Amino acid sequence: MFDLTGRTALITGSSRGLGFSIAEGLAQAGASLILNGSNPERLTTAATSLRTKGHTVHEAPFDVTDEAAVQAAFDRLDTQGIAVDILFNNAGIQLRRPLVDLNAADWRHVIETNLTSAFLVGREAARRMITRGRGGKIINTGSLTSAVARATTGPYTAAKGGIKMLTQAMTAEWAEHNIQVNAIGPGYMLTEMTQPLADDPKFDGWVKARTPSRRWGTPADLIGTAVYLSSSASDYVNGQIIYVDGGMLAVL
């Protein structure tokens, strides 16, 4: 039920961080991988490290915010005869700044990287899944901020709240094609994105005190949910967001 053998998964933003860990987890469950990032050198390093472990890995460097680049990347995959069965929209960025100090260009950049990207890549994947008629899995990446807000992360919070509803909008249109669209909402996980927070004793103490599990999450903590949402085990699960947060959202 959880076996992904014979399926191909595209994970955006998988050159490092949570995306890399999710990619490795899906490969361990049997999937072939298409890794993505905007920096081709970083991507090749990540792909090589997974190939040395025996996994099948293709590289698709493109900017997830660039509509033409996204379309060209899918056209290249078509030419190579590679079909995406599982799409993990994971690429994202954070920018911490009070709303009153934020300019519109920075607002747009955060919204485009975290939200519009899921539409652009999701649309290309779904068009092909619908044409092939074999269904598929799309997993979008939310956050605790899909449900609650925190000061200085305004555009990120708006984007991740949008991810929750985009997941439902995609479900409304694509579930009848046997495409299950769901989202994952990581809590505070230790990656390059959050390293500055973990290095700050005050913030680190707040996370541990505020999280019922009393610890930061690790990228490996996401793998079980990622495999579940990518596999036949979730074939009647549609439009949900699953928080993997050590219990943070469950308590005040």
- Complex with ligand NDP: residue 5 or 216, whichever CB lies closer: 216
**Rounded alpha-carbon distances, angstroms, from residue 51 to 14, 84, 172:** 14, 19, 37
Task: Say if CB 106 and CB 156 are below 8 A apart.
Answer: no
Neighbouring residues of 135: CB distance < 8 A, sequence distance ≥ 6: 129, 177, 178, 179, 180
State phi, psi for 103 to the nearest 5 degrees.
-90, 165
15 contributes a contact to ligand NDP by CB under 6 A: yes
Stretch that binds ligand NDP, among 25-33, 34-42, 171-179, 223-231 (CB under 6 A): 34-42
Which residues from 160-189 bind ligand NDP, rule CB under 6 A? Answer: 186, 188-189
92 contributes a contact to ligand NDP by CB under 6 A: yes
Residue 191 interacts with ligand NDP (CB under 6 A): yes or no = yes
Considering the complex, state which of residue 179 and residue 207 has its C-beta at the smaller distance from ligand NDP.
Answer: 207
Size of interface with ligand NDP, in residues (CB under 6 A): 31
Nearer to ligand NDP, 18 or 84 (CB): 18
CB of 184 to ligand NDP, least distance (A): 8
Rounded CA separation 19/40 (Å): 15
Please say which residue, 175 or 244, places its beta carbon nearer to ligand NDP.
244
Between CA 107 and CA 174 the distance in angstroms is 29
Answer yes or no: 243 catalytic. no
Q: Contact between 136 and ligand NDP (CB under 6 A)?
A: no
Among the listed residues 174, 154, 183, 159, the one whose alpha carbon sits nearest the alpha carbon of residue 243: 183
Shortest distance in whole angstroms from residue 134 CB to ligand NDP: 26
3-state DSSP call for residue 44? helix
The pair of structure tokens assigned to 9 is: 């998964």
Asked if residue 158 lies in contact with residue 109, where contact means CB atoms within 8 angstroms, the answer is no
Residue from 2, 28, 39, 127 touching ligand NDP (CB under 6 A): that is: 39
Residues that bind ligand NDP (CB under 6 A): 12-19, 36-39, 42, 63-65, 90-93, 113-114, 141, 143, 186, 188-189, 191-194
Active site residues: 156
